[in-house]
């Protein structure tokens, strides 16, 4: 099999600019996608898809920095704007027009909050990007793992769903897997948060009866029923919270948490 | 013919309307305590939204049973007001069913009125049942649902039932009197005609009942109108402007403070000239707090939100923090804002603020500070919010609970540096490493190592 695969050299903006080239789209990796061991696998899966379909993309590499989103949600508007203004200088210097990201928090901030500070880009979330690739037939969703009949439930990210009204794109992507898609009672606009938004990811929860991710995981497990199943997410924070929830419920042998990009990469046979 | 009765009516109506206007001026003054914010853009989209969400009750229909019952009361309120108009005209000019000349239209109107009035009674009885017998959790529980809000809801429902019965008493007696005198009463009365003999056939008694029913209905309405500004029922007026002025932007877009932008730009570039600060009436620069500590730091829209709140608890019942037992309740944030605003500014006829301490609500660790933050709303509540927008999505009258929570949080962080220690650590990480975790920035691109894809050939 060794000869059937090739090493990917992920292109950076610095290299592209040096060669006088411009990418079709900048892949904004985000902090979780860069540093979190679990979410790095999502980043890699998404890059495999980009490489597979031959999109001309680039990343900022070490020039990328936090969008400032967690600082803003935590009330630190000053730190947020420091980050945003610095990032915008970098993005504008590279003449970036279009950005795709696998993180709904980065997505929301880049798309909605950067324009006020001088950063105007077409920003799309990787769920929409994947939906387009599938619709255009660039990703056939075959050749890899078969998902037919597998039970999958999609957990809505607040910053994708309610914050930006994107409910169908991730579901369309999952529908391409031909799996048995089941909806939780609280879904789409009525979806229940995983508990990590608003900078909760970085602090202990306030005193209460239970943790929010446990409440949500219980709902997901009840929806999937017994046997093997997948909780699909489209956000690094939801990924952490749902994975922790599944572990807490000691279901990690039967229920897996995957990002939609990972599922597509698996189905396309890219992550063997 | 104008008689003493009409003059009394004129005085009563004048007093009622005058008192109402006086109360509305107070409310307006209170709302204007808030900071100015420009919200008049895109009128066509705003009108659309108002038609759908306020007039069309769109968001109520997320929960079917209360939506249908509420629709009865809402449509009943709109249509029965046409009869109230007639009552007013009759009252002033001593006429009797002055709109009767409308003929078949009047017949239809009265018939619809009667059916709606019956439905209003049924709906109100079910609402009372839900609040007091089955005790639907979102209506019956929560630290903010203390004695006054609970009584307020019951007062409204019982008043509405009494008003509808007064209307029926008037119609029944009027109908029977017309039959006794052998003349046709304009209008068609499907409910009253079924009970036409309920009050016997003594002309004197009937005339008294018709008159008492008429007076109770009209005085009831005037009294009810003046009760509104003190009540959650004020939403029947405020829902319309509040939806009109609601946020048109994506829910995920939080406000940007331009004062901070100028500061940062000046820091990064010493030649940057920030615009001159706005001056107040005395020519002194207006110094604005970062974030909100008290009601004057919120915008007029956020204060208007609090006057629009119906205390229905939909927001709290979908709040992930509240569901899992945290102290945060978006409804409490909105109700506290109103109570604090009325404590600080003017207050309507009936004033009943939240004083959690005096009520013995130990869970809410408020202080004696006379401010919205800490005097009513505690940091513990604010830090429990996941900013998930479920409360905003659920509100039938487009209240933005989250914007108030965020502004209070901003004050804690920007003015007091009072964030939880773990969040301060996150801030430091972003400052030093450009990531919320303590990883060196040089490792940011390590994920790309040893990455393979299948080759196509």
In our burial notation (b when 16+ CB lie closer than 10 A, e otherwise), range B177-188 reads bbbeeeeebbbb
Alpha carbons B153 and B389: distance in angstroms, whole number: 27
Residues near B90 by beta carbon (within 8 Å), at least 6 away in sequence = B96, B97, B98
Shortest CA distance from A186: residue in chain B: B318
User: Chain B: nearest CA to A4, how far in angstroms?
Assistant: 5
Alpha carbons B74 and A47: distance in angstroms, whole number: 55
* Residue recorded with tokens 């919320």: B436
Closest CB to A35 among B387, B392, B437: B437
Spatial contact of B304 and B31, defined as CB atoms under 8 Å apart = yes
Model confidence over B43-71: pLDDT tens digits? 999 999 999 999 999 999 999 999 999 99
Domain boundaries, chain A: 2-131, 140-267
Q: Is A232 helix (H, G, I), strand (E, B) or coil?
A: strand
Chain A touched by B318 (CB under 8 Å): yes
The reply to whether A140-267 shares the fold of A2-131 is yes
Spatial contact of B403 and B350, defined as CB atoms under 8 Å apart = no
Q: What is the CATH number of domain A140-267?
A: 3.40.50
Alpha carbons B163 and B223: distance in angstroms, whole number: 11
Q: Which domains does chain B have, with CATH numbers?
A: 4-43+55-244 (1.20.950), 285-433 (1.10.1060)
Edge-to-edge strand ranges of the sheet holding A180-182: A180-182, A151-154, A229-233, A255-259
Residues near B169 by beta carbon (within 8 Å), at least 6 away in sequence = B199, B209, B210, B212, B213, B216
Class of domain A2-131: alpha beta
Shortest CA distance from B408: residue in chain A: A75
Chain A touched by B392 (CB under 8 Å): yes
**pLDDT tens, residue order, chain A (272 aa):** 455 899 999 999 999 999 999 999 999 999 999 999 999 999 999 999 999 999 999 999 999 999 999 999 999 999 999 999 999 999 999 999 999 999 999 999 999 999 999 999 999 999 999 999 999 999 998 888 889 889 999 999 999 999 999 999 999 999 999 999 999 999 999 999 999 999 999 999 999 999 999 999 999 999 999 888 999 999 999 999 999 999 999 999 999 999 999 999 999 999 86
The answer to whether the predicted template modeling score (pTM) of the entire model surpasses 0.90 is yes
On chain A, the residues whose CB falls within 8 A of the CB of B441 are 62, 65
Predicted local distance difference test score (pLDDT) of residue B353: 75
* Secondary structure element (H or E) that encloses residue A230, with its range: strand A229-233
The DSSP bridge partners found for residue A125 are A101
Instruction: Please answer yes or no on whether B413 and A43 come within 8 Å at the CB atom.
Output: no
């Amino acid at each position: 099999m060794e000869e059937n695969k090739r090493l990917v050299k992920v292109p950076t903006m610095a290299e592209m600019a040096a060669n006088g080239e411009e990418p079709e789209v900048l892949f904004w990796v985000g902090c979780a996608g860069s540093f979190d061991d679990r979410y790095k696998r999502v980043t890699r899966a998404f890059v495999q898809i980009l490489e597979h379909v031959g999109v001309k993309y680039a990343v900022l590499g070490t020039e990328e920095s936090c969008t400032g989103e967690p600082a803003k949600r935590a009330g630190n508007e000053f730190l947020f704007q420091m980050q945003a203004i610095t990032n915008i200088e970098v993005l504008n210097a590279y003449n970036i027009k279009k950005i795709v990201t696998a993180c709904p928090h980065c997505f929301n901030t880049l798309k909605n909050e950067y324009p006020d500070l001088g950063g105007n880009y077409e920003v799309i979330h990787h769920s929409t990007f994947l939906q387009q690739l599938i619709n255009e037939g660039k990703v056939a969703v075959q050749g890899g793992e078969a998902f037919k009949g597998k039970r999958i439930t999609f957990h809505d990210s607040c910053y994708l769903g309610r914050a930006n009204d994107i409910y169908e794109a991730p579901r369309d992507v999952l529908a391409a897997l031909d799996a048995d898609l089941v909806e939780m009672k609280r879904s789409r606009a009525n979806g229940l948060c995983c508990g990590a938004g608003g900078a909760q990811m970085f602090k202990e929860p306030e005193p209460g009866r239970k943790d929010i991710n446990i409440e949500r995981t219980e709902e997901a497990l009840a929806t999937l029923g017994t046997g093997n199943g997948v909780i699909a997410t489209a956000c690094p924070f939801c990924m952490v919270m749902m994975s922790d929830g599944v572990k807490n419920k000691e279901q990690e042998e039967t229920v897996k948490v995957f990002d939609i990009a990972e599922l597509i990469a698996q189905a396309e046979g890219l992550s063997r | 013919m104008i008689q003493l009765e009409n003059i009394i009516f004129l005085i009563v109506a004048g007093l009622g309307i005058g008192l109402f206007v006086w109360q509305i001026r107070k409310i307006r003054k209170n709302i204007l305590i808030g900071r100015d914010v420009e919200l008049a853009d895109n009128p066509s989209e705003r009108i659309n939204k108002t038609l759908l969400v306020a007039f069309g009750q769109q968001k109520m229909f997320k929960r079917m049973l209360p939506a249908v019952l509420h629709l009865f009361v809402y449509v009943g309120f709109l249509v029965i007001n046409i009869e109230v108009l007639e009552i007013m005209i009759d009252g002033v000019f001593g006429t009797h069913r002055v709109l009767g000349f409308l003929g078949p239209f009047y017949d239809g109107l009265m018939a619809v009125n009667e059916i709606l009035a019956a439905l209003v009674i049924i709906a109100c009885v079910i609402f009372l049942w839900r609040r007091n017998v089955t005790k639907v959790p979102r209506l019956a529980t929560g630290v903010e649902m203390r004695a006054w809000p609970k009584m307020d809801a019951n007062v409204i429902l019982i008043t509405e039932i009494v008003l509808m019965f007064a209307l029926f008493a008037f119609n029944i007696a009027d109908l029977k009197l017309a039959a006794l005198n052998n003349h046709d009463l304009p209008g068609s009365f499907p409910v009253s005609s079924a009970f036409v003999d309920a009050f016997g056939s003594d002309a004197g008694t009937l005339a008294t009942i018709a008159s008492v029913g008429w007076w109770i209905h009209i005085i009831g309405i005037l009294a009810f109108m003046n009760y509104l500004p003190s009540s959650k029922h004020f939403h029947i007026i405020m829902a319309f402007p509040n939806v009109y002025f609601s946020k048109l932007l994506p829910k995920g877009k939080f406000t940007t403070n331009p004062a901070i932008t100028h500061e940062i730009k000046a820091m990064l570039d010493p030649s940057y000239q920030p615009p001159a600060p706005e001056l107040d009436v005395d020519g002194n620069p207006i110094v604005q707090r970062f974030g909100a500590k008290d009601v004057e730091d919120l915008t007029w829209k956020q204060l208007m939100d609090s006057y629009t709140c119906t205390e229905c608890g939909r927001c709290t019942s979908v709040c992930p923090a509240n569901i899992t037992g945290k102290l945060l309740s978006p409804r409490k944030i909105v109700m506290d804002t109103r109570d604090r605003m009325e404590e600080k500014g003017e207050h309507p006829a009936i004033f009943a603020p939240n004083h959690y301490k005096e009520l013995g609500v130990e869970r809410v660790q408020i202080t004696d500070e006379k401010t919205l933050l800490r005097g009513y709303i505690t940091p513990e509540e604010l830090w429990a919010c996941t900013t998930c927008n479920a409360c905003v999505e659920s509100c039938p009258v487009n209240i933005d609970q989250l914007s108030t929570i965020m502004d209070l949080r901003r004050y804690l962080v920007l003015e007091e540096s009072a964030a939880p220690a773990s969040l301060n650590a996150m801030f430091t990480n972003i400052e030093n490493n450009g990531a919320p975790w303590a990883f060196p920035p040089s490792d940011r691109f390590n994920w790309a190592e040893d990455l393979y894809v299948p080759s196509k050939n």
